[in-house]
Amino acid sequence: MEFKRVVVTGLGTVNPLGNSIEEYWEGLKNGKSGAGPITHFDVTHQKTTFACELKNFNPAKYVEQKEVRKHDPFTLFAYATAAQAMEDSGINLETINKDRAGIIWGAGIGGLQTFYEEVTNYNPEVPRFSPFFIPKMIANIASGLLSIRYGFRGPNFTTVTACASASHALIEAMNYIRLGKVDLFIAGGSEAAVNHAGLAGFNSMRALSTRNDDPLTASRPFDLDRDGFVMGEGSGALILEEYEHAVKRGAKIYAEMVGGGMSADAYHMTAPDPEAGGATLVMKLALEDAGLNTEDIDYINVHGTSTPLGDIAEPKAILKCFGHHAYNLSISATKSMTGHLLGAAGAVEAIACIMAIQNGIIPPTINHFTDDPEIDSKLDFTFNVAKERKIKTALSNTFGFGGHNASVIFKKI
């Protein structure tokens, strides 16, 4: 059968670089670090004392003040970015068919802050929990609440694949539209794990940077002295829409989503396959799905978390997948600026790809000081300074604990 075309008609984000698309893009192209000492809670006894927190986020802009306490931060982030994306898209809720509009949302963890607070305050002698405990905590609640807010009665579910969650949400939404089952989706992801439990949990795995004396440069993808990722928080939302539906209503179109790949490492609970088999496969599958050749890709927004093993495996996968064309690619790891947004990363980094296509600018991989001899230095990682380049097609990688891999491809239209 002939697939329908899928386009992006709305964008929204709150993340450590800003609470709008405009602020986010300004931060990216200027190589701004979103890291700093943690301000939202006491980190006296934590091994890592910094993160990429949201700054000046006001949930009351998107939810009535009296309703804020009923939601975990990850849901409040979702409300904010969905509202931005919907406004940006110009969708008229009175004229669309809401039976053919859906929500697919990614969350790696869900309401971790709620779970931490409720368990911390639990008294076994008075076994009571808040009536909001379960609905605030469950990972699927953001997609459910967004459908209630907008009245969308189409497919509604949550993808939970750790750091690949939002990318899987985008792929699922694209495929429903391609098949002609749905006209449009709000798709993306949100995460709010910068709290005592999230920080201590990742620290116990030795996954986080402990560069407490220099948080601004702690996220160092592909640098010899990288020592772990920097936690981030936030959300990204995209309006994905069937092309003819978008044209008919006169929508502005940012880009076309032309493909997605999904694979598994089938290797280890948290470590990447050192031979990069799953990461190589997922990019090949995305290219095949999009009907593209390796030479068609101009830019890759890599997973690039600043971890010792992951930052070796991904360049190896790029070389295996793209061959000699790998040296013609522009590559960057925007987690060097935003930190790692976990289940929201795929959406926020997809937006980076779309803005790069729109503006002809490759955002940099900041905080590079020393080459790692185990990483091919002839690859163009766009270290430290953004550069201009005409970009027709961009690919974004996200890889999650459990060996979940997802790649998405966007094309200039």
**β-strands 184-191, 234-242 pairing:** antiparallel
For 42, the token pair is: 């006491």
Q: At residue 103, what are phi and psi to the nearest 5 degrees?
A: -130, 125
Segment holding 37, helix H or strand E: strand 36-37
pLDDT band for 374, please (50, 70, 90 cuts): very high
Separation between Cα atoms, residue 16 and residue 339, nearest integer Å:
8
* Catalytic (active-site) positions: 163, 303, 340
Q: What is the pLDDT of residues 141-162, one digit of tens each?
A: 999 999 999 999 999 999 999 9
Q: What is the pLDDT of residues 166-184, one digit of tens each?
A: 999 999 999 999 999 999 9
Confidence at residue 6, expressed as pLDDT on a 0 to 100 scale: 98
Q: What residues contact 238, with CB distance under 8 A and at least 6 apart? A: 8, 10, 11, 85, 170, 186, 187, 188, 347, 350, 351, 354
Residue 325 has pLDDT above 80, yes or no: yes
Q: Identify residue 385 by its one-letter amino acid code.
A: V
Q: What is the pLDDT of residues 334-360, one digit of tens each?
A: 999 999 999 999 999 999 999 999 999
Angle at 194 between CA 188 and CA 198, to 5 degrees: 100
Under DSSP, the state recorded for 74 is: H
Map tokens 């270290």 to a residue: 383
Confidence at residue 127, expressed as pLDDT on a 0 to 100 scale: 85
Note the Cα 289 to chain centre separation in Å. Answer: 21
Separation between Cα atoms, residue 235 and residue 106, nearest integer Å:
10
